[in-house]
Structure 1
Amino acid sequence: MSARIVFQDLSPLDTIPSEDERRWLEKLAQDTTTSDYVVDFGQSVAASSPGPVVQCGPDGIWRAGRYIGEIYRDGRVLEIQPRLGIETIAAWAGAALNVRIVPDAAEHAHSPGFVAELLAAAWRATVTSAARHGPPALRATVRHVSPHVRGRLDLSATLALRAARSPNVVSTSRPKQLDNPVSSTIVLADRVLDRALHRTGWRGQRIDELLPQLKAVVGSRAALPTQRSLARVRYTPMTLPYRGAAELSWRIARNRGLLANAADHTDSGLLIDVAELWELFVLHCARRAFGSAHVTHGTRLIRSGALLRAVDDPARALGRLYPDLVIGPLQHPWAIVDAKYKRLADPVGVVPEDLYQINAYLSVHASAPLPLGMLAYVDLPGQTAISRAEKLGPWGTTIGHPVRFQRLPVTADHCIAAMQQLVPRPHPQVPR
């Protein structure tokens, strides 16, 4: 059994590490590229700025970052457990994917494989929902060269054949086929998850019925499709739910950390970014509170948001400027919200870079009515003291924007109610 060092996310190590453990942590913190281990649940602004897995503070205390999961290296295991519990994290992941996630085995919720169990539950729910109307049979163009027309005649290609004295004609058809990038990606993700879980019965009846069909056409040695090939897939209204299943399957199949067994030679792992889940959870609650039409996710604004633009060529930008959420019309929003999976507690309070960030977002909207700016922190358990930033708020910018630093509840209904209370919604103008 490999030695295991256990943290909770955003928390210090509750034991004093030995000299060997300290050196191992130092090497891991220095050599680890976080993005190599993270399986994300979807596009988020937080995911574009990875943070440290663990770090040692000026006080000499080791603390875990915003990730949960495991890293295996040199005969040791770094385990980071969710401080909010696996049920809360599963609920956030379900909100991010718009599916209901129920871990299949509750006894695994606090085991070393809890991240694999969570990913399996998310994958199972997404694929089962997509397969409700059948397997991912997609139409693909097939070219036929024969004496008979099958489907649509390709006139130019046929004329070329006739010019070469061939008796054949060229035609094309678009039959439904299971041998496609979506099927291959689902099969590969299933293989990775199955090896990680080491137990039977985790898929559920619908997936157990679907997989033999897919494996029969893609084979046992299918290559992982590229993201570009998945992006080129054209879905019908019936197969559109498979887009989300294919994207999640691709991220799981790409990350080989699920196959780690903590052997001495292993250098792999798997992490989930809790900051990404918090951002997507807050986005879900905002859409429930104000309606999807009134909430824009920051990932939609990546191309237009910039801190600086070249005077001679405005298309060239320097620095990114897009918040997590914009509530209300983009030109005249009601609120600009940035989700922060951090402690909001004294004496640290709000860190300066977050103050500069929200002020930069608000500076773009300098005409009345001025939007509310809000940094949405997570209400972590056991934190009863109200910080100075909360106690003295709301605050105001030099232009006059109201600004709040707010801890939001971790359950959907309470978070929705809090956002509806905090974000002012303008009254419609009554014609005279």
Structure 2
Amino acid sequence: MLKDCSPINIDEFATAYFGKGKNAIEQAKSWLTKLAKARIEDSHLFKLSDKTFEDEPIVYCDHFGKWWTGRFIGSLHYEGVSIEIHPRFGLKFVADNIPLNNFIPVETNASFSSGEKFIHLLQAMLWLNLLAKAAKHTVPAVKINKAHTSAISRGRIDVQRTIKARIKDPSKIASISSHKEINNPITTTVVLAYFEIQRWFPKHNLLNWLPETIGLRLQQMIDATPRHSPIPKTRDIKGARLGSIAKAYIPLTRVSLDILKNKGISEKSDENKSSTLLVDVAELWEIYILSVLREALINIDVLHGTREGDKFLLTDKSGKYQLGKLLPDYIFNINGNTASIGDAKYKRLGDAPWMSPKRDDLYQMTAYLSRYSSCEEGSFYYPDWGDDCTITDNNPWQLASGQSINFIKVPIDKSVAVSYLRQFYGDSVHRKKLINNF
């Protein structure tokens, strides 16, 4: 089984997908080389935020000739070969940290994995997340226009048709009335996708995963959809005229069609096309660290810097223009002042040459601290992979500016992580200054 950020056993991989023998190994390496160069499209990604995606390879070969998976999990079909990359920290870690609007409880017990592949779970959570956003304010009612020709107006007057009508009968007026219809191709697509997901997980009621308001709107859509409705055609979906508020259903409809067509799941995909659904675990790690920090440092305002930061590295001599926007993952504020910053790194921290800290990461943190000059320190947060590492034993590492950098290995168990960081930030003297109210 392939797992993210893990070595690929080339012999086992070749045997599983290309057969046995030396030729199969060469075929496997050739396929991996092509995949390493392939670009990941936005449509392939289950994006958890609006953060700009950093182009990273799905697989790569290190300087020693060893193949590795990158930081993605999910299902991939590429040039006739279908693979899955599973989460090295387990499905529960993924389910617990995908931000389903913070109200959809997801249990990842054995029965939950009753779908054909674990990618079903990712697609189901993506679908639920988009449904929660779309159905927050309305159902996908489509505007329907109906033409009338009579002695009275029943809506907006159609001038051209009125002129033609009055040639035959001067008493006639052509008008157009509008009403909103829930039974439409958008609703049908969403409802059919709901039924498909429900078949994946027959022991769970999806309506119980949703808050009451969202569940009621979904039930409205189900009630409005005739039984045994066929999958709407793409042209019919594109022709549906949604109101401005209901346009949030467009991405949900797109994912619903993928679910109904088994995109990213079927191993019988078109040989000439690649179909993919991937999750960037680095995004999950960033979300996880934010949650841990906010729970551990209860007296500090921990901001999500990629959303709330606005500092620039450079300002021109006139002071009018700025260059090089800096967005650390976390900004620690005390009484409105920035006291520290932090950055999540989904990388292996250790003493081996191929492990972090990487030079570009050190430059990045130095740039952050240069701009946030009032901060005494900045911190990197790495997963605790279980690797030997003396770097963490020598925290904090000092810069010539007098500022310092911490390299922190954070446990995967959230309760353990909260206790660990709470103790870490309470141990040293200058950290006590940072959290003097803690």
The question of a shared fold, defined as TM-score above 0.5 by the shorter chain, is answered with yes
RMSD: 4.8
2:287 partner amino acid: L
Determine the C-alpha separation between the residues in 1 that align with 2:195 and 2:299: 36
Matched, 1:136 2:131: no
Secondary structure in structure 2 of the residue aligned to 1:375: strand
Q: Quote the residue 1:308 is aligned against.
A: 314
Q: How does 1:264-413 map onto structure 2 within 5 Å? A: 265=271, 266-290=273-297, 294-301=301-308, 304-311=310-317, 314-315=320-321, 317=323, 319-328=324-333, 332-347=337-352, 348-367=355-374, 370-380=375-385, 383=386, 385=388, 387-413=389-415
Count of matched residue positions in the alignment of Structure 1 and Structure 2: 390
Distance in 2 between residues matched to 1:204 and 1:372, nearest whole Å: 48
SS at match of 2:337: coil
Cα deviation, 1:357-394, whole Å, max 9, x if unaligned, reads 11111111223xx34311111122xx152x12201111
**Alpha carbons of structure 1 residues 53 and 196: separation in structure 2 relative to 1, 3 Å:** farther
Residue 30 (structure 2) aligns with: 23
| Alignment check: 8 A CA contact 2:146 2:176 kept | yes
Answering whether residue 436 of structure 2 is matched by residue 427 of structure 1, we say: yes
What pairs with 1:126-165 in structure 2 (closer than 5 Å)? Answer: 127=131, 136=139
Aligned AA (2:417): C
Q: 1:372 to 1:246 in 2, by over 3 A?
A: farther
Q: Which segment drifts farther, 412-421 or 336-345?
A: 412-421
Distance (whole Å) between structure 1 residues aligned to residue 333 and residue 316 of structure 2: 29
Specify which structure has the bigger relative contact order, considering alpha-carbon pairs within 8 angstroms and separated by 6 or more residues: 1
Evaluate the alpha carbon distance shift between residue 426 and residue 286 of structure 1 in structure 2; reply closer, same or farther with a 3 A threshold.
closer
Give the deviation of 1:147 after TM superposition: 6.2
The verdict on how the C-alpha distance between 1:104 and 1:409 changes in structure 2, with shifts beyond 3 A counting, is closer
**Contact in 1 for aligned 2:292/2:417 (Cα 8 Å):** yes
Which structure has the larger Rg? Answer: 2
- The verdict on how the C-alpha distance between 1:101 and 1:413 changes in structure 2, with shifts beyond 3 A counting, is same
Letter in 1 for 2:312: A
Give the corresponding residue for 1:117: 121
How far apart are the structure 2 equivalents of 1:231 and 1:12?
Answer: 49
- Closer, same or farther in 2 for the Cα pair 1:43/1:73, shift >3 Å? same
- For structure 1, which runs of at least 5 residues remain unmatched after alignment? 1-5, 155-160, 236-242
**Residue 95 of structure 1: how far off its partner (Å):** 7.1
Letter in 2 for 1:351: K
Q: Residue 188 of structure 2 contacts residue 231 of structure 2 at CA under 8 Å; is this kept in 1?
A: no
Determine the structure 2 residue equivalent to 1:51: 56
Equivalent residue for 2:7, pick from 8, 12, 31 = 12
- Equivalent position SS for 1:58: coil
Q: In 2, Cα distance between the equivalents of 1:373 and 1:144?
A: 66
Following superposition, the deviation at residue 395 of structure 1 comes to 1.6
SS in 2 for 1:33: coil
Amino acid at match of 2:290: L
The 3 A distance-change label for structure 1 pair 262 and 254 is closer
Specify the alignment match of 1:158 in structure 2. none
Asked whether the equivalents of residues 40 and 55 of structure 2 are also in contact (C-alpha less than 8 Å), the reply is: no
Where do 5+ consecutive residues of structure 2 fail to align?
15-24, 157-161, 163-169, 208-214, 426-430
Confirm or deny that 1:258 pairs with 2:264.
yes
The verdict on how the C-alpha distance between 1:179 and 1:14 changes in structure 2, with shifts beyond 3 A counting, is same
1:88 maps to which residue?
A: 93
Q: Any idea what SS the aligned residue of 2:405 has?
A: strand
Q: Deviations over 1:194-244 (max 9, x none)?
A: 668974737726368454246469993467999xx9995289xxxxxxx7x
SS of corresponding position for 1:405: strand
- Partner amino acid, structure 2, of 1:136: V
Residue pair 2:296, 2:419 contacting (<8 A) in 1 also: yes
Structure 1 11/300 Cα, relative in aligned 2: closer, same or farther at 3 Å?
A: same
Tell me the secondary structure at the aligned position of residue 388 of structure 1: coil
Normalised TM-score (structure 2): 0.70
Q: Equivalences for 1:116-265 in 2 at 5 Å?
A: 116-121=120-125, 123-124=127-128, 127=131, 136=139, 178=182, 184=186, 188=189, 199=200, 201=202, 204=205, 206=207, 209-213=219-223, 215=225, 220-221=232-233, 232-233=244-245, 257-258=263-264, 260-263=266-269, 265=271
